Amino acid sequence: MLSRWHCVLIASASLAVLAFGQRRELFGTRKWAMYEHEMQDPVEDPPDAHVAGEFVFGRLRYRSNREGRAYARWGIDCNKSDRIFLDTLRRLTRVHTQSIENIIDIESDGVFDSPFLFAVSPNDWRLSPSHAERLRKFFDRGGFLMVDDFHGDRDWNGFMAGMRQIDPDVRVIELGDNEPIFHIAYDLTDRVQVPGQNVVHGPGYEKDGVIPHWRGIIDSEGRIIVAICFNMDIGDGWEFADDPDYPEKFSAHALRLGVNYALYALTH
Instruction: For residues 161 and 221, state if they share a domain.
Output: yes
Predicted pLDDT at 162 = 98
pLDDT in tens, 133-152: 999 999 999 999 999 999 99
Residues 24 and 70 placed together within one structural domain of the fold: no
What range does the domain containing 24 cover? 1-28
Q: Comparing C-alpha atoms, which of 79, 102, 99 is closest to residue 89?
A: 99
Same structural domain, 151 and 236: yes
- Which phi and psi (to 5°) does residue 99 adopt? -75, -20
Percent of the chain with pLDDT over 90: 87
* 69 pLDDT higher than 90: no
- Is there a single domain that holds both residue 151 and residue 192? yes
- pLDDT value of position 10: 33
Q: Within this chain, do residues 93 and 184 fall inside the same structural domain, yes or no? A: yes
- On whether both 47 and 156 belong to a single domain, the answer is yes
Do 175 and 192 belong to one domain?
A: yes
Q: Is the pLDDT of residue 13 over 60?
A: no
Across 29-54, average pLDDT:
95
Mean pLDDT estimate for the chain: 90
The residue among 140, 90, 144, 97 whose CA lies nearest residue 268 is 144
**Domain co-membership, 131 together with 43:** yes
Q: Are 36 and 42 in contact (CB under 8 A)?
A: yes
- Asked whether the predicted pLDDT for residue 26 surpasses 50, the reply is no
- Look at strands 224-230 and 213-218 and give their pairing: antiparallel
CA 174 to chain centre: 22
* One domain for residues 4 and 123: no
Q: Is residue 6 located within the same domain as residue 40? A: no
Contacts of residue 129, Cβ cutoff 8 Å, sequence gap at least 6? 165
Q: What is the CATH number of the domain that holds 175?
A: 3.40.50.12140
What type of residue sits at position 17? V
Condensed to tens digits (0 to 9), the pLDDT of residues 41-51 reads 999 999 999 99
Q: Report the pLDDT value the prediction gives residue 64, as an integer from 0 to 100.
A: 93
Measured distance CA(103)–CA(63) in Å, rounded: 13
Model confidence at 28, in pLDDT bands (50, 70, 90)?
low
Tell me the pTM: 0.89
Interacting residues of 209 by C-beta distance below 8 A, sequence separation 6+: 151, 152, 155, 230, 231
CA dihedral angle for residue 179, residue 238, residue 98, residue 217, rounded to 10 degrees: 30
Say if residue 12's pLDDT is above 50.
no
DSSP 204: S
Over 60: is that where the pLDDT of 16 sits? no
pLDDT above 90 for 3:
no
Shared domain for 113 and 152, answered yes or no, is yes
pLDDT exceeds cutoff 60 at 19: no
Tell me the longest C-alpha to C-alpha distance in the chain.
80
Q: Is there a single domain that holds both residue 21 and residue 145? A: no
**Contact criterion met (CB below 8 Å) for 238 and 250:** no
The total number of structural domains in the chain stands at 2
* Model pLDDT, residue 71: 84
What pLDDT, in 10s, does the model give residues 81-130? Answer: 999 999 999 999 999 999 999 999 999 999 999 999 999 999 999 999 99
DSSP bridge pairs for 145: 117, 226
pLDDT at residue 4 greater than cutoff 90:
no
